[in-house]
Structure 1
Amino acid sequence: MSGFPDFPNSAQQETLSAIRRSFHREPELSWTEFRTSARLCAELTELGFKIQYGKDLYGERTPSNPPEAEVSRQAYARAEAALGRNNSYLTAMAGNRTGLCATLEGGHPGPVWGFRFDIDALPIQESRDHSHPPAAQGFASDNPGVMHACGHDGHLTIGLGLAQRLAATREQWCGRVHLFFQPAEEVGGGGVVFADLPQLHEVERFMTLHLGIVDAYQIICDATWICAKIYDVRFRGRASHAGNAPQDGRNALLAACQAVQGLYALPRHSGGLSRINVGRFHSANAHNVIADDVYFRYEVRGANNDVADYMAQQAEQVLGGAAMMNGVEYEKTTFAEFSGWPNSPELAEKVEKVARDLGLPEELLQRPYLVPASEDAGYMVRRVRDQGGLATHLILGCPVGDGHHSCAFDFDERLLPWGVELFYRMVADGEKE
């Protein structure tokens, strides 16, 4: 299959590509999506949506894992320089209260829909190689060391495109639609906060999506994600001179290294696939000193919550054993968690039907699929399903350059109008109450 067919409306394709590229140029890290959120607020307000953002949206909720204060300060200053010191949307987002919910009523009573779009980027310096389309076509990131390397610029573009379609035809469709532009997916924080929003509590049918993932042209209507738990660990020992008195030291670095080896050697579980990774390790000690303070961050993943819990429990034993062998102490804190949750087959089947009705080729359709990665929209899916609603996660698959989270990530922009149309038809084809 050579890919998705060209969208029949070339003007719509061009409009969405332009929107995506403008957001791609200005990526922002998790919990610092100030400029992105403020721009979305302005554009959705102009379309006639009721928006909630900042303190009004969060209430007493606060980000669970915000970045360091200086990172937030610099990001806010950058947004302020672009938008002006007195931008009302921006000032309301102080304290890392980024993201928003936009609501629109249709012309007739009907179901309450929710669509979620993540908006954060990653701490990656984008490639400037001529083979990388954003660099070659002049829309690579202007924010040094930050890049949309996972398609979230495309996701929020689909959200805006959906908003435009809904606003232009609001008298024709039934029900109410909440559009959730969610921050901090990459660090597993925004989904937990947004799952507790009152707007989500009334949603009866919920959808979210991801571009790429499978590195092939596919429409996956029932994608589920593995669970993940991410931890920060600090080993503390006793410093001493490595040559003069090594016997007086308690080597936190050695304990941490043994722990890392033990983590990678953990036995797996027959209940499903599992993963483990140590992605960050730091020891700021002199070469001739027995290290007394070492930090690393690790993650465990499982095909379901039971497997992830098993991996977390086994990892805890490894940490404790390494500390005991070396006479040091350790402390572990949770950085983030990603929950997995099954979709609603009946809603996935409806997406398939809509795709067929739009004339998309049958060979593109694939269902179901377990993604060997994690997604914090699982918390929102769980909330909707727990309250009796329907939910599913859509993947619009395509080749993605050098892969997700790489400096040369990119996706096929032809998917953007198809994503808008699939979501729009889900609402527009609904029946009146």
Structure 2
Amino acid sequence: MRGIDAVMGRLDDAARDELAALYRDLHQHPEPAFEEKRTAGIAADRLREAGFEVRTGIGGTGVAGVLRNGEGPTVALRADMDALPVLERTGLPYASTNDGLMHACGHDMHVACLTGAAHLLSAGRDQWAGTLVALFQPAEEIAAGAQAMVDDGLFDLTGRLSVVLGQHVLPRPASTVFIRPGEILGAADSMEIRLYGRGGHSSQPERTVDPVVLAAAIVMRLQTVVSREVSPFERAVLTVAQIHAGHKENVIADEASITLNIRTFSPEVRRTLLAAIERVVNAEAAASGAPRPPSFHTLNAFPLTANDPGATADVTDAFTTRFGAARVADLAPMMGSEDFGVFGTAAGVPSVFWGLGGIDPSQYARAEREGRLAEDVPGNHSPFFAPLISPTLPMGVEALVTGALTWLSR
């Protein structure tokens, strides 16, 4: 691949140290969905320093930088910015200073990697031709940020894209990238269901319709949906994550609410699960004598994430050439979800998404050997999730640069 050595040669020790400091700063200052003002400001400033045309406030707090460098393809690189409502328990010296918020999914790593790649590609403009677009997206965790940026006129700034590329740090061995064509991340739907009962004194249950008992019946019945209504050859998950009801131990509440989440890889299975949820909830409410039907409220919906086969083959070949076959592994499909694919779908262009290992390889190998991966290797969304800064950060920068130059250096 023409020019990559010249571009990556600028990632010297000083540049690595500066990016590591940026990562630690971002990790210390997490911000929730659509409130990533500080993070967005840092990203915008770094892009301006690198000579990008920058627009802020896209879809709320989104940032887009455009660097035009002659005739050629337009390649978009994307990083998400939002943190999670998780109390950090890593004990790191650069742990979150915002109580109850944590970059438990690695979006701080994504931002730092894209910032580094943007600077290297800008400094190495003599090695490529085309247009580079850097997207810093808000609100990935609630499946809203990508669509918000698109709806707010993102493509008016970027023009027609040729491809969209992105990556996600994973609890896998560092110094390795993980990629595959086709479906890689499941679709996800989350909803809140409000159940209506008739409250009263706990000593007189016969005068009430207890929504707690109703909620319990629904939770138990929903456990059979995947096991009895979905083929064992399909993949699906249904999780009831929250139950809320009541305020006093001697009062039967009027209402209860449950929140649940489903994960699917097939539109048909998704329809089956959604229909079954509505059927079970309504039937149990009727069986309990509820005074009114339950209400259903959609919280978020993530689309299926699928890599374009042709574009993925090109990126995989570039990774293999750059890193060697031993550092490029298959990315097994996961039930986790992303809204990254919204950009490529909305633009009508291919998209490619890959995994970036972030765990000490010896720690991972030991845990795998002892059958303790779940216990000893904290995953995304864990309060203990802490990717290694090095080599994860420089590897992530190099992966983005390699992916971009797969098109821009042609």
| Alignment partner of 1:179 out of 134, 137, 146 | 134
User: How far is 1:189 from its partner?
Assistant: 1.6
Provide the C-alpha distance between the structure 2 equivalents of 1:36 and 1:176, rounded to a whole number of angstroms.
24
SS in 1 for 2:72: strand
SS in 1 for 2:281: helix
Decide whether aligned partners of structure 1 residues 39 and 371 sit closer, same or farther in structure 2, where only a CA change above 3 A counts: same
User: How far is 1:166 from its partner?
Assistant: 2.1
**8 Å Cα contact 2:302-2:339 kept in structure 1:** yes
Equivalent AA in structure 2 for residue 231 of structure 1: M
| Alignment partner of 1:353 out of 317, 327, 336 | 317
**8 Å Cα contact 1:174-1:427 kept in structure 2:** no
User: How far is 1:117 from its partner?
Assistant: 0.5
Equivalent AA in structure 2 for residue 52 of structure 1: R
**8 Å Cα contact 1:235-1:294 kept in structure 2:** yes
**8 Å Cα contact 1:301-1:311 kept in structure 2:** no
SS in 1 for 2:333: strand
Q: Could you report, residue by residue, the CA deviation over 1:39-86 in whole angstroms, capped at 9, with x for unpaired residues?
A: 2222222222112222xx33xxxxxxxxxxxxxxxxxxxxxxxxxxxx
Matches within 5 A, 1:394-433: 394-399=354-359, 401-413=377-389, 414-430=391-407
- Report the number of matched residues: 374
Provide the C-alpha distance between the structure 2 equivalents of 1:431 and 1:178, rounded to a whole number of angstroms.
11
User: How far is 1:381 from its partner?
Assistant: 3.4
Partner of 2:41: 38
Decide whether aligned partners of structure 1 residues 241 and 430 sit closer, same or farther in structure 2, where only a CA change above 3 A counts: closer
Moved over 6 A (4+): none
User: How far is 1:263 from its partner?
Assistant: 1.6
Matched, 1:393 2:346: no
Equivalent AA in structure 2 for residue 162 of structure 1: A
SS in 2 for 1:109: coil
SS in 1 for 2:304: coil
Equivalent AA in structure 1 for residue 160 of structure 2: E
SS in 2 for 1:186: coil
Question: Which consecutive unaligned segments of at least 5 residues does structure 1 have?
Answer: 1-6, 59-96, 130-134
Partner of 2:257: 295
Provide the C-alpha distance between the structure 1 equivalents of 2:383 and 2:123, rounded to a whole number of angstroms.
37
Q: Which moved more, 1:371-380 or 1:141-150?
A: 371-380
User: How far is 1:210 from its partner?
Assistant: 0.4
Q: Which moved more, 1:204-213 or 1:415-424?
A: 415-424
Provide the C-alpha distance between the structure 2 equivalents of 1:109 and 1:263, rounded to a whole number of angstroms.
55
Partner of 1:319: 281
**8 Å Cα contact 1:29-1:123 kept in structure 2:** yes
Matches within 5 A, 1:62-211: 97-106=60-69, 108-127=70-89, 129=91, 135=92, 138-196=93-151, 197-199=153-155, 202-211=160-169
Equivalent AA in structure 2 for residue 415 of structure 1: T
**8 Å Cα contact 2:105-2:385 kept in structure 1:** yes
SS in 2 for 1:115: strand
Partner of 1:246: 205
Provide the C-alpha distance between the structure 1 equivalents of 2:34 and 2:379, rounded to a whole number of angstroms.
24
User: How far is 1:311 from its partner?
Assistant: 1.4
User: How far is 1:116 from its partner?
Assistant: 1.2
Decide whether aligned partners of structure 1 residues 43 and 218 sit closer, same or farther in structure 2, where only a CA change above 3 A counts: closer
Provide the C-alpha distance between the structure 2 equivalents of 1:431 and 1:374, rounded to a whole number of angstroms.
29
| Alignment partner of 1:237 out of 197, 212, 221 | 197
**8 Å Cα contact 2:165-2:352 kept in structure 1:** yes
Provide the C-alpha distance between the structure 2 equivalents of 1:220 and 1:393, rounded to a whole number of angstroms.
9
Q: Could you report, residue by residue, the CA deviation over 1:377-404 in whole angstroms, capped at 9, with x for unpaired residues?
A: 13223324xx2x2211111123384221
User: How far is 1:36 from its partner?
Assistant: 0.9
| Alignment partner of 1:221 out of 179, 183, 208 | 179
TM (norm. structure 1) is: 0.80
Equivalent AA in structure 1 for residue 49 of structure 2: E
Provide the C-alpha distance between the structure 1 equivalents of 2:173 and 2:295, rounded to a whole number of angstroms.
39
Provide the C-alpha distance between the structure 2 equivalents of 1:371 and 1:128, rounded to a whole number of angstroms.
25
Q: Could you report, residue by residue, the CA deviation over 1:82-104 in whole angstroms, capped at 9, with x for unpaired residues?
A: xxxxxxxxxxxxxxx21211111
User: How far is 1:357 from its partner?
Assistant: 2.8
User: How far is 1:344 from its partner?
Assistant: 1.3
Q: Could you report, residue by residue, the CA deviation over 1:107-145 in whole angstroms, capped at 9, with x for unpaired residues?
A: x2011111110111111111154xxxxx1xx21111111
User: How far is 1:265 from its partner?
Assistant: 2.0
Q: Which moved more, 1:202-211 or 1:341-350?
A: 341-350
Q: Which moved more, 1:302-311 or 1:20-29?
A: 302-311
**8 Å Cα contact 1:173-1:427 kept in structure 2:** no
User: How far is 1:160 from its partner?
Assistant: 0.4
User: How far is 1:216 from its partner?
Assistant: 6.8
| Alignment partner of 1:340 out of 304, 324, 331 | 304
User: How far is 1:214 from its partner?
Assistant: 4.2
User: How far is 1:431 from its partner?
Assistant: 5.7
Equivalent AA in structure 2 for residue 374 of structure 1: S
Decide whether aligned partners of structure 1 residues 274 and 160 sit closer, same or farther in structure 2, where only a CA change above 3 A counts: same
Provide the C-alpha distance between the structure 2 equivalents of 1:327 and 1:379, rounded to a whole number of angstroms.
43
**8 Å Cα contact 1:28-1:146 kept in structure 2:** yes
Provide the C-alpha distance between the structure 2 equivalents of 1:21 and 1:416, rounded to a whole number of angstroms.
11
**8 Å Cα contact 1:218-1:397 kept in structure 2:** yes
Decide whether aligned partners of structure 1 residues 284 and 231 sit closer, same or farther in structure 2, where only a CA change above 3 A counts: same
Decide whether aligned partners of structure 1 residues 309 and 217 sit closer, same or farther in structure 2, where only a CA change above 3 A counts: farther
Matched, 1:370 2:330: no
Partner of 2:369: none
Q: Could you report, residue by residue, the CA deviation over 1:196-239 in whole angstroms, capped at 9, with x for unpaired residues?
A: 44427721111111011446764222371011100011111211
User: How far is 1:150 from its partner?
Assistant: 1.0
Provide the C-alpha distance between the structure 1 equivalents of 2:246 and 2:173, rounded to a whole number of angstroms.
39
**8 Å Cα contact 2:77-2:135 kept in structure 1:** yes
